[in-house]
Structure 1
Amino acid sequence: MKRKKNVTKIIFSVFLCLLVFYGKSQDKVVPTYDVELEGYINDRLVNSINNRILAQDVDRLVNVFDPKNRLETDMWQSEFWGKWFTSAVLAYKFKPSEQLFQTLEKAVYGLINNQTADGYIGNYKQESRLKQWDIWGTKYCLLGLLSFYELRKDPKVLRAAEKLANNLMDELKKSDNIIVTKGNYRGMAASSVLEPICQLYKNTKNDKYLKFAHSIVDQWSLNNGPQLIEKSAVDVAKRFDKPKVWYSWEQGQKAYEMMSCYEGLLELYRLTADDKFKQAVEATWENIQNTEINIAGSGASTEMWFGGKQLQNNPIHHFQEVCVTVTWIKLSLQLFRLTGEAKYAEAAEKSYYNALLGSLNLQGDKWAKYTPLNGQRLEGSEQCGMGLNCCEASGPRGLFLLPFYAVTKGNKSIQINYFIPGEYHVHVGKNLVTVKIETNYPKDGQVNIRIQGTKKQDLALEVRVPSWSRKNVLRVNNMPVLTGVSRDQYITAKETIVPGDEIALQVEMTGRMEEIGNDVKSYAIFRGPILLSRDQAFLKQVPMGIVLTPVLEKDNTIELISMPTERGFWMEFTAKFIPESYAEQSAKPIEVTLCDYASAGNIKDHSLFQSWFPELLTKNK
């Protein structure tokens, strides 16, 4: 099985390189799928495979598509197969096994067996086709079919995808051929089918799919379209007026669907090199980062953009849906793959370690559909009678994706982007370079990297230095390369890689503050990429509801003392806070225990947690 596992990963890595460099616009970096992780992240992924991916009742997902069940008019059961399936494909790329591959085969061929002569795969009544979530379900079926085709070049699977896409195009022609008036959210849900249509073109080179992709984007510019290119310079929360009905076609601020469309636009850019497509995505990403993304790395209220970055220390209804978090990570990594720019990699890391992992319980089987910054983690409700909800199906798509970007290959370099311990096998032509990362990051800031292989490689080795680290030391074969400040960029550790090279990076892990507010401030505490929180599980601490203001050093840092983690928390620290006091004399600082945001509310069921700490207002300043 070990040999088969390695052969599978090698074949996929070679295929990926060919796929990435096909087309007019080449990506700057290629992810590494041949990985063997260790430590905390590996444990989280394995738990997700065993307790979520493999535990899924596949028959329940497939039976939705039985032609006898085509009675739906407005629900979204048809998305669950594709979300779970694409998650399972990523899980298989991470850790191939016969059991998981057989599960994938059962799911994909079960789906295909429900395709009727007209090419349709779905569960909508004939008179309800193209309405509500019908095209959205088609998108996820296409994504699933094409993801399996990457693993196994079965023409039957590709033909099924073509027939399904052809059915959609035929149904649109029978209607008015306008996709942006179909479904929900100004056509963004329906027109996000752009992504798999572009992928289908790459696999078939059939020009009709490229023409269809262009027609989708052209329709975005119609007066009743989502204006995704024209409004790319407009705040995502202000592109359209507030609708009369929140969840409706009129709603133009739907976060998840909007980003999904931009993912598709990047795929079209890769095929056409039309720079306005890339510029629109980059501008929108920058706007989301500046106006919406919170301290945990996610955003959106009741699933819509709302200018949330400036409001995030308030109680917010249905904050940072998992589907939003996952799609933000995916969009950021799409842009990182395309450009190689560090800011995209760093945004994905912050979201992954905080918002994403915080939404997932330690067993890996349940996801909190929404997660506040102050409050509780509560499991999401079942949707559509499917035994799970959209976030439980979609969450693993982000969970398994980011580790493949820890080590990437560029045209003339290998990049170390994320410090996740393990071995990364990078295929360079017929040769293999193994990057061994040994670290407890982000528990501490020491990262040791060793290069293994059979021969010298004419490739540079680049290491990402996080923007939050002010003091850095980089040594190569025990010789200093960097000492001091160098943020949010890549440092070339070596111009040529030689087997046996040893690289040591030390980044600063001082407690630092982020603040919000003018007259009265609120503080959030970070250590490295990790947001820290209080948890009610620390029973001897000051009760929740008592105002605690952190004691800051002169340089706006906070002293954190690392503590043993004996209660299941990933990280624990103590810090000094001043509690509110109504006695004559002001209260003296006390020690308060903090943990990582991902653990907060996840160790003891439904315990309260707190990530924003309000300043105690006084007029004596």
Structure 2
Amino acid sequence: MKQIKRRVIGMALLMFIHATYGIAQVNGRAAGELAYRINMAYRRLTENVYKPVFTEKFILADVNIEHDNARRFYNFSGDLSGRYIEVMSLMGENRTKVNLHQLVKDAIKYQGPDGRFGDQRLIFSEDQIGKQHMALLWGNGRMLVGLLAYYNRYHDKEVLAAAVKLGDFFIKAYGVCAAPEIVKRLDGFGATGIICVTQFIEGLVTLSQLTGDHKYSEQASKAYKLLPDRGKQHSHGYLTTLRGVLMLYDYDKNAADLTYVKNAYDNLIASGDYTIFGSVREYFGKDAIERDEGCSTADFVRLSLGLYKVTGEVKYLEKGELALFNALFFNQYYTGDFGHHIITETGSEPHYLHAAWWCCTMHGLRALYDVQQNYIINNASSKIKVDLYLDVNYKSKDADIAIQRFKKAGDTLFYQFQIRQINKQILFRMPGWASNAVCYINGKKEVPNIANGYISFNRAIKADDRISIGFLLKKAIITASGENIPISEIKGTIKGVLHYGPYILGVDDKADPDFTAEPNNNILYSKSVTLIKNNIHHNLEKVSFLSDTYLSINYQHGGYPSSYQTVLRPISELTFDRHGYLLLSITYATDKNATDLQRKDSMQNPWRKK
């Protein structure tokens, strides 16, 4: 592959890179990509490496406002500070330079007499409601969630009292904001629209859960009715609202709440607002800005997995997994931040660093933590189910299991499960991205039972068993219309995105600038796809978790007669490669189709007269 300047990395060097980046260890081995990414985001929020640095003064600048030297989005009072308090409360403060307890104590000093945080001069009356009122409500909604996360962990009654006061402020403000003329006035306001009201549902439901006072959940059940159809609006607020309604269903078991969320979700998936990355754009609507947002992607992952947990319908799990492994992992920057990327119908474009430190960095970390804690292993029934294949140590009263992405042999990806303790039958999901599974217990091959989407064994699994399951990864092209075509079954010429097991693969200008250079309407030979057998990465200074999932493929260039090779690799790796130009939607054909197409079109003048 002379066209691609890469070097072979030995295993020793790869381990050195992992150690340099501080990957958490499990039994002396790297704990895997999820732990690594969590650590990246956590360090971004707690260390003095990148600017801005998260000091207490900086964090609280949206509730202790200095108008002559204001921080960006200070008027979304409680947005950054509430998110910071939330995620640090969940993760603990063992490595933070900011004292979380002091931070929270200082934050509630800035709560106004009516319960709000932020500008006390804003009057919530029908004749004055506008964008600044909505911005304040948005930030206060995030602050409410943060205070309740802190209380739920540390049981500080003063903090709960502040949260109750804030919830009561919202109920009064809602009485004004819910007026039909106000809702109409806010139409088209985007990030300062009615979603600033409906996103409060998450905090209101939690407030009822922690206080036992149903007035907040009753208010939540009224509030979400204000949410309009997607239209052109901010996807983060819309999806946060849906997450809140799902929480409301989990709390009150009103079937109408669940139906509402499922209908909205299914409608979104079937629309043009669902992207080839497996997630959504920052704004809905055909004329919206063509970029993603870490907050929206994080919400989509959590909403998808939450729907699976409530309904048991595997389609939600698969959508959440796809978005996690690709859209959310891709969204993270090398700094640890989450943010925005310019996305197109064919991939993404290079741009400046859109690190959204005021929201996405914390919200992305919140989603990763949620996945780690709640969705990899499902222990809610009489059986333990392994639902997501990510490296993690899981421990409960029923089980103690270490999961590790073990090795790849050909197209078969192995995961190893070290059973330290087990009190229930254990099942392993048979994922839709795999066509077969091969299993070993303590080195001995076992014939698995595959039923209802899960793998089980005829023998009982006990402590000290070591289980290895290898999944044969599918290679399929997903077209813009949603067709799923195995790459071996391509007939004619098609354009689409290559999925290799759970990973979306693409060609980027960091790995192959010749392929992505103009014109890049290249034709890839579908029958020439082969594995790259070595641990290959083109830059020794970067991290690769998935180098064994790189694929080689032959292609003809769209601008001149040629026969070259390129490498397709998981898009999530661009986190570590400083997101450049990326092509995802590419034209595939059999060799004969591609040759005919090249001979006919390659060097013809595009401005010729027909």
Tell whether the structures are fold-level matches, with TM greater than 0.5: yes
- Whole-angstrom CA distance in 1 between matches of 2:351 and 2:54: 21
* 2:34 alignment partner in structure 1: 41
Q: 1:69 to 1:580 in 2, by over 3 A?
A: closer
- Whole-angstrom CA distance in 2 between matches of 1:541 and 1:563: 22
- After superposition, give the CA deviation of every residue in 1:38-96 in whole Å (9 maximum; x if it has no partner): 12322222122112345523322213213786999994353122223323334x1xxx4
- After superposition, give the CA deviation of every residue in 1:178-214 in whole Å (9 maximum; x if it has no partner): 7856865562221120111011001111132233223
Aligned residue among 349, 361, 383 for 1:376 = 349
Query: 1:343 deviation in Å?
Result: 2.5
- Whole-angstrom CA distance in 1 between matches of 2:306 and 2:559: 52
- Whole-angstrom CA distance in 2 between matches of 1:84 and 1:475: 44
Query: 1:603 deviation in Å?
Result: 4.6
- Whole-angstrom CA distance in 2 between matches of 1:288 and 1:425: 36
SS of the aligned residue for 2:396 comes to: strand
SS of the aligned residue for 2:472 comes to: coil
- Whole-angstrom CA distance in 2 between matches of 1:339 and 1:89: 29
Aligned length: 527
Aligned residue among 148, 163, 174 for 2:165 = 163
Deviates most, 320-329 or 563-572: 563-572
Deviates most, 493-502 or 264-273: 493-502
SS of the aligned residue for 1:532 comes to: strand
- Whole-angstrom CA distance in 2 between matches of 1:153 and 1:481: 50
- Whole-angstrom CA distance in 1 between matches of 2:316 and 2:408: 18
- Whole-angstrom CA distance in 2 between matches of 1:276 and 1:374: 38
- Whole-angstrom CA distance in 2 between matches of 1:290 and 1:441: 36
Q: How does 1:362-401 map to 2 (within 5 A)?
A: 362-365=334-337, 367-372=339-344, 374-379=347-352, 388-401=357-370
SS of the aligned residue for 1:508 comes to: strand
SS of the aligned residue for 1:331 comes to: helix
SS of the aligned residue for 2:573 comes to: coil
* 2:535 alignment partner in structure 1: 564
* 2:19 alignment partner in structure 1: none
Q: 1:212 to 1:101 in 2, by over 3 A?
A: farther
List alignment gaps of at least 5 residues for structure 1.
1-34, 229-235, 241-250, 308-315
* 1:198 alignment partner in structure 2: 205
- Whole-angstrom CA distance in 2 between matches of 1:195 and 1:275: 18
- Whole-angstrom CA distance in 2 between matches of 1:369 and 1:380: 8
SS of the aligned residue for 2:536 comes to: coil
Aligned residue among 285, 289, 314 for 2:265 = 285
* 2:428 alignment partner in structure 1: 463
Q: How does 1:484-499 map to 2 (within 5 A)?
A: 489-493=453-457, 497-499=461-463
Conserved 8 A contact 2:77-2:140 = no
* 1:297 alignment partner in structure 2: 278
SS of the aligned residue for 2:268 comes to: helix
State the percentage of identical aligned residues: 17
List alignment gaps of at least 5 residues for structure 2.
1-25, 48-52, 484-491, 589-593, 602-610
- Whole-angstrom CA distance in 1 between matches of 2:552 and 2:140: 51
Aligned residue among 593, 597, 610 for 2:567 = 593
* 1:56 alignment partner in structure 2: 54
Query: 1:563 deviation in Å?
Result: 3.7
- Whole-angstrom CA distance in 2 between matches of 1:105 and 1:41: 27
Conserved 8 A contact 2:532-2:551 = yes
Q: How does 1:319-358 map to 2 (within 5 A)?
A: 319-358=291-330
Query: 1:559 deviation in Å?
Result: 2.8
* 1:480 alignment partner in structure 2: 446
* 1:207 alignment partner in structure 2: 214
Aligned residue among 492, 507, 523 for 1:549 = 523
Root mean square deviation of aligned Cα: 3.6
* 1:413 alignment partner in structure 2: 383
Query: 1:326 deviation in Å?
Result: 0.9
Q: How does 1:435-446 map to 2 (within 5 A)?
A: 435-440=401-406, 445-446=413-414
- Whole-angstrom CA distance in 1 between matches of 2:253 and 2:415: 37
Q: 1:265 to 1:581 in 2, by over 3 A?
A: closer
Structure 1 residue 512 corresponds to structure 2 residue 493: no
Conserved 8 A contact 2:204-2:220 = yes
SS of the aligned residue for 2:115 comes to: coil
Conserved 8 A contact 1:53-1:87 = no
* 2:581 alignment partner in structure 1: 608
Query: 1:100 deviation in Å?
Result: 3.2
- After superposition, give the CA deviation of every residue in 1:350-401 in whole Å (9 maximum; x if it has no partner): 1112111112123414644544553434355588xxxx34323422222322
The aligned amino acid for 2:414 is: Q
* 1:20 alignment partner in structure 2: none
Conserved 8 A contact 1:342-1:490 = no
Q: 1:550 to 1:412 in 2, by over 3 A?
A: same
Conserved 8 A contact 2:62-2:75 = no
Conserved 8 A contact 2:554-2:566 = yes
Deviates most, 321-330 or 474-483: 474-483
The aligned amino acid for 2:76 is: W
Aligned residue among 533, 542, 556 for 2:506 = 533
Q: 1:124 to 1:438 in 2, by over 3 A?
A: same
Q: How does 1:85-104 map to 2 (within 5 A)?
A: 85-90=85-90, 92=91, 96-100=92-96, 103-104=99-100
- Whole-angstrom CA distance in 1 between matches of 2:223 and 2:200: 9
- After superposition, give the CA deviation of every residue in 1:493-538 in whole Å (9 maximum; x if it has no partner): 4796532333321111253322337997323222211111212223
Q: How does 1:6-17 map to 2 (within 5 A)?
A: none
Aligned residue among 134, 143, 151 for 1:141 = 143
- Whole-angstrom CA distance in 2 between matches of 1:422 and 1:226: 37
Q: TM-score, normalised by structure 2?
A: 0.76
Q: 1:146 to 1:330 in 2, by over 3 A?
A: same
Query: 1:576 deviation in Å?
Result: 2.1
* 2:18 alignment partner in structure 1: none
* 1:576 alignment partner in structure 2: 553
Deviates most, 169-178 or 147-156: 169-178
* 2:117 alignment partner in structure 1: 121
- Whole-angstrom CA distance in 1 between matches of 2:516 and 2:138: 46
Query: 1:165 deviation in Å?
Result: 0.8
Q: 1:77 to 1:565 in 2, by over 3 A?
A: farther
- After superposition, give the CA deviation of every residue in 1:550-588 in whole Å (9 maximum; x if it has no partner): 2223xxx943324423422523434223213676xx644
Query: 1:288 deviation in Å?
Result: 2.2
Conserved 8 A contact 2:338-2:364 = no
Aligned residue among 508, 522, 547 for 2:495 = 522
* 1:248 alignment partner in structure 2: none
SS of the aligned residue for 1:286 comes to: helix
SS of the aligned residue for 1:297 comes to: coil
Structure 1 residue 264 corresponds to structure 2 residue 264: no
Conserved 8 A contact 1:415-1:464 = yes
- Whole-angstrom CA distance in 2 between matches of 1:210 and 1:109: 27
- Whole-angstrom CA distance in 2 between matches of 1:330 and 1:319: 20
